[in-house]
């Protein structure tokens, strides 16, 4: 009888321990469900990306192509305003208009007749300027085939969770775009570069946008997945300038880019506007050409794909089932590009990773580039995690009390047997 009682006590102890393990394994998922649902509801169509990049190319030079420089700078201002930091923007620009001798407003570039907004300003970082804007450099940026001497600020340091916005403007024709009247890039070159990027896991999704004559022919050869493309004009159509400024003396922006930027002025970081909303604004009577969209390679419906999936900086949160020690807000080491940082907000039984750098700044000093990351933990809601710490302590206390009672019973049985 005593042996039977002892075995019963041991069996009860094992059952308690197994139950405790099962509870600790199952409860985090149930506890994290409200948090997962909260962020899933803000996912904007199910994009799996965790970082955004932009490659902005003005392939023209010379004063009479002033509008092409304004096109690229307008896009540059927009993506920065929506949260993509300079560290994640590659800007290729001839940069010969702002300080041109014929510019009546030195150091300024305007995109409207009233000159309300200086697109050049004090806070612009041109990564490739002048004769650095070549077909070879553009393809090397996309594919990552860089010489070791190229600084990190000139590299596209993307991965398979990166959404990339590629914008090009200049003079072109049927399946080609001219680079500074010196060379051309073909639709095949860009298509093959995107395929290399896909094979090397350098992107999650790409939005390709081009403003040039016969622009839609430039994405006719694409064959890689997860790419959506749009252009300003069909084959045998021109892309037209929008307006002239008589003081500047030349056209200051193209129609296609002008109306896209006009739409983007109504977008903020939390906007729920989709790419379909953007494409619905294309109007032949305004653009005077047939803007095109190619979405057969894209896996998501355009009606569920947010504009900010490509034009904005993400703040993607991932909920982990790993329990952590005391509450902390810690900035983890930067990733491979030296810029992307991970903000880990840890609580007992809950850990949130904010995989977008917040308030990222780039400072340049006399000793060279110096990158400073400033992260602000405020504003992130953790309402779903309230009470987690108290619940965990109560469960641990009950488990230890049960284990103690069982051990006492086993000891009592053994003492009686002796």
Architecture of domain 51-311: 3-Layer(aba) Sandwich (3.40)
The model's confidence at residue 316, banded by pLDDT at 50, 70 and 90, is low
* Active site residues per annotation: 171, 213
Residue with tokens 């230890």: 400
Question: Any idea of the CA torsion for 244, 247, 250, 252, to the nearest 10 degrees?
Answer: -60
Give the whole-angstrom CA distance, residue 249 versus residue 156. 36
Distances (CA, A) of 256 to 173, 206, 278: 16, 20, 12
Q: What is the pLDDT of residues 203-249, one digit of tens each?
A: 999 999 999 999 999 999 999 999 999 999 999 999 999 988 888 88
164 three-state secondary structure: strand
Q: What is the pLDDT of residues 391-404, one digit of tens each?
A: 677 777 777 777 77
Q: Output the pTM of the full model.
A: 0.69
Give the whole-angstrom CA distance, residue 118 versus residue 90. 20
Distances (CA, A) of 381 to 38, 149, 345, 377, 384: 10, 43, 11, 10, 8
Q: What is the pLDDT of residues 156-213, one digit of tens each?
A: 999 999 999 999 999 999 999 999 888 999 999 999 999 999 999 999 999 999 999 9
Residue 179: closest CA among 54, 56, 55, 57: 57
Give the whole-angstrom CA distance, residue 257 versus residue 269. 20
Give the whole-angstrom CA distance, residue 327 versus residue 320. 15
What are 38's two structure tokens? Answer: 């909260």
pLDDT value at residue 19: 55
Higher local confidence (pLDDT), 27 or 194 = 194
Rounded to a whole number, what is the distance in angstroms from the first to the last CA of the chain? 13
The chain-wide mean pLDDT, for the chain, equals: 79
Residue with tokens 């902005």: 56
pLDDT value at residue 231: 97
Give the whole-angstrom CA distance, residue 147 versus residue 100. 32
Per the CB < 8 A criterion, the answer to whether 77 and 260 are in contact is no
Instruction: Please provide the DSSP assignment of 189-233 as one string.
Output: HHHHHHHHHHHTT--SEEEEEEESTTGGGGGTT--SSSEEEEES-
- Max CA-CA distance within the chain? 109
pLDDT value at residue 203: 96
Q: How many CB atoms lie within 10 A of CB 97?
A: 27
Helix (H) or strand (E) holding 250: strand 250-254
pLDDT value at residue 98: 84
Q: How many CB atoms lie within 10 A of CB 195?
A: 16
Q: What is the pLDDT of residues 286-314, one digit of tens each?
A: 999 999 999 999 999 999 999 999 999 87
């Amino acid at each position: 009888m005593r042996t039977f009682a002892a075995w019963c006590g041991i069996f009860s102890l094992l059952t308690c321990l197994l139950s405790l393990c099962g509870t600790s394994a199952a409860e985090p998922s149930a506890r994290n469900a409200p948090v997962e649902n909260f962020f899933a509801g803000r996912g904007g169509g199910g994009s799996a990306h965790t970082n955004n990049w932009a490659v902005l190319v003005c392939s023209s030079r010379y004063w009479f192509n002033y509008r092409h420089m304004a096109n690229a700078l307008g896009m540059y201002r927009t993506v920065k305003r929506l949260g993509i930091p300079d560290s994640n923007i590659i800007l290729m620009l001839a940069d010969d208009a702002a300080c041109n001798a014929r510019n009546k407003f030195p150091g300024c570039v305007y995109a409207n007749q009233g000159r309300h907004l200086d697109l050049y300003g004090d806070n612009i970082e041109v990564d490739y300027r002048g004769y650095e804007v070549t077909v070879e450099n553009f393809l090397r940026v996309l594919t990552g085939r860089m010489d070791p001497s190229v600084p990190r600020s000139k590299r596209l340091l993307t991965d398979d969770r990166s959404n990339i916005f590629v914008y090009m403007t200049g003079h072109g024709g049927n399946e080609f775009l001219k680079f500074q009247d010196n060379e051309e890039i073909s639709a095949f070159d860009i298509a093959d570069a995107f395929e290399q990027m896909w094979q090397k896991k350098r992107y999650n999704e790409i939005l390709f946008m081009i403003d040039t004559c016969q622009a839609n022919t430039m994405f006719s050869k694409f064959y890689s997945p997860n790419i959506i493309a749009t252009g300003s004009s069909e084959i045998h159509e021109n892309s037209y300038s929008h307006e002239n400024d008589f003081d500047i003396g030349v056209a200051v922006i193209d129609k296609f880019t002008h109306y896209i930027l006009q739409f983007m002025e109504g977008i903020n970081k939390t906007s729920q506007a989709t790419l379909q909303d953007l494409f619905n604004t294309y109007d032949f009577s305004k653009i005077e050409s047939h803007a095109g969209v190619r979405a057969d390679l894209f896996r998501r419906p355009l009606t569920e794909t947010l504009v900010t999936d490509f034009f904005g900086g993400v703040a993607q949160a991932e909920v982990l089932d790993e329990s952590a020690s005391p509450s902390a807000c810690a900035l983890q080491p930067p990733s491979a590009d030296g810029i992307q940082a991970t903000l880990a907000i840890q609580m007992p039984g809950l850990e949130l990773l904010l995989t977008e750098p917040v308030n990222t700044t780039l400072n340049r000093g006399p000793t060279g580039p110096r990158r400073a990351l400033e992260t602000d933990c405020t504003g992130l809601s953790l309402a779903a995690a309230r009470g987690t710490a108290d619940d965990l302590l109560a469960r641990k206390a009950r488990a230890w009390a049960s284990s103690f009672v069982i051990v006492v019973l086993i000891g009592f049985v053994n003492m009686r047997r002796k």
